[in-house]
Amino acid sequence: MAVTVSGVQDVNPVELGLELLASLEHDSLSVAAALDRIETVSTDPNVQREILDTAVARGVVEREDGIVRPTSHDYVSFETDVITKEGEFSCRRCGAEISTGYFITFDAGEHGPFGSSCIRKVTGRES
């Protein structure tokens, strides 16, 4: 199911979630921490479950005993994969009002906006 994000483009939330999980800079994280990232894609529990289940089925992550382990190390590059835009935004992770939005560019679409600390948390650069 594709949805319009910020009225700009149609984005498949499952594909976007898969790319996000594939790019996490963690050797492992709890399912709860993985869901914290997935919630930036969709707050619908059914979509969240589909993202996590599809990630396991496609080998994007391994899941065992409440731990998720990304299988690739294709990390988000802040130089080439993250763009900034100026404007009036609400962070997709924390909801804070921000004037500079950080967006991750994935093949499935653009993901954001995030504030400066949330972009690091979503990508796994900061806990």
Q: Is 25 helix (H, G, I), strand (E, B) or coil?
A: coil
Question: Looking at domain 3-70, does it have CATH number 3.40.630?
Answer: no
**What's the pLDDT tens digit per position in 41-54?**
999 999 999 999 99
Domain boundaries, given as residue ranges, for the chain = 3-70, 82-123
Given this model, what pLDDT does residue 8 score? 43
Kindly state the tokens that stand for 67: 């731990």
DSSP letters spanning 69-121:
EES---PPPTTTTEEEEEEEEE-TTT--EEEEEEEEEETTEEEEEE-HHHHHH
Q: 70-75 — which CB contacts under 8 Å span 24+ positions?
A: 70/21, 70/22, 70/23, 70/24, 70/26, 71/22, 72/22, 72/23, 74/22, 74/23, 75/23, 75/24, 75/25, 75/123
Given this model, what pLDDT does residue 54 score? 97
Given this model, what pLDDT does residue 10 score? 73
pTM above 0.75, yes or no: yes
For residue 83, list its beta bridge partners: 103
